[in-house]
């Protein structure tokens, strides 16, 4: 993103006007020369996406059971607690292996967030659950892995589109991200700087 002619922007720190020339734009930043400021203004990020885009979204991607594609679960925006307990947001069936279920009542937590810079959703996974009342962390009994790497205690990781989440070392789900269509995203763009200031 760049400017091809001289443009006035508002300093991100002191809010006074700065003249940006095309050469500054190529450098990716400009120093504010107003007295007592001197802030480095980034010119590389010129817009972000408004989080309002997520309101009314019917679901935010899904988890599909690898052993049976007809078993899948829709994710919601925000915290998804996944487990076999009725107190989980996504209640899984008790998958049995030699008459044993390896998934805990509240096994792992998948947080669906909006990344305003990319305009897409992020899927952050943590083994276990943070108990809301006590604020304490309770891990699952048999652990959680992403693409066969087991998560460490309280570790939080971003699961990529198509990533495999294994619960209790045996039951695996494929994560499918939801992606906002480009045409829709464009209507939620909020410009940060290169718009010439029209307020004064």
Query: What would the x/- binding string for Zn ion be over residues 14 to 33, using CB under 5 A?
Result: x-----------------x-
Q: Is residue 37 close enough to count as binding Zn ion by CB under 5 A?
A: yes
Nearer to Zn ion, 39 or 157 (CB): 39
* Enclosing H/E stretch for 43: none
Using rule CB under 5 A, residue 8 touches Zn ion: no
Which tokens belong to 195?
């718009």
Q: Which is nearer to Zn ion, 37 or 170 (CB)?
A: 37
Q: How far apart are CA 1 and CA 7, in angstroms?
A: 13
Would you count residue 34 as binding Zn ion (CB under 5 A)?
yes
- Rounded (to 5) percent helix, strand, coil in the chain: 10, 40, 55
- Looking at the Cβ atoms of 37 and 66, the one nearer to Zn ion is 37
**Which residue matches tokens 């906002």?**
180
Q: How far is the CB of 33 from Zn ion (least distance, A)?
A: 8
- Is residue 103 within 8 Å of residue 168, measured between CB atoms? yes
- Residues engaged in binding Zn ion (CB under 5 A): 11, 13-14, 32, 34, 37, 39
């Amino acid at each position: 993103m760049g400017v091809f002619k001289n443009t006035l922007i508002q300093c991100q720190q002191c809010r006074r006007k700065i003249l940006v020339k095309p050469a500054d734009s190529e450098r990716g930043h400009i120093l504010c020369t107003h007295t007592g400021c001197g802030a480095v203004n980034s010119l590389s990020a010129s817009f972000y996406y408004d989080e309002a885009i997520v309101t009314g979204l019917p679901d935010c991607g899904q988890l599909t059971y690898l052993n049976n594609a007809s078993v899948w679960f829709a994710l919601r925006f925000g915290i998804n607690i996944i487990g076999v307990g009725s107190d989980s947001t996504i209640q899984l069936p008790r998958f049995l292996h030699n008459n044993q279920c390896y998934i805990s009542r509240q096994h792992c937590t998948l947080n669906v967030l909006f990344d305003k810079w990319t305009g897409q959703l992020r899927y952050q996974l943590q083994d276990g659950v943070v108990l809301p009342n006590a604020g304490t962390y309770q891990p699952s009994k048999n652990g959680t892995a992403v693409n066969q790497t087991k998560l460490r205690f309280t570790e939080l990781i971003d699961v990529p589109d198509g990533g495999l989440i294994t619960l209790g070392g045996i039951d695996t789900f494929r994560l499918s991200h939801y992606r906002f269509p480009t045409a829709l995203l464009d209507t939620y763009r909020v410009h940060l700087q290169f718009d010439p200031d029209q307020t004064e």
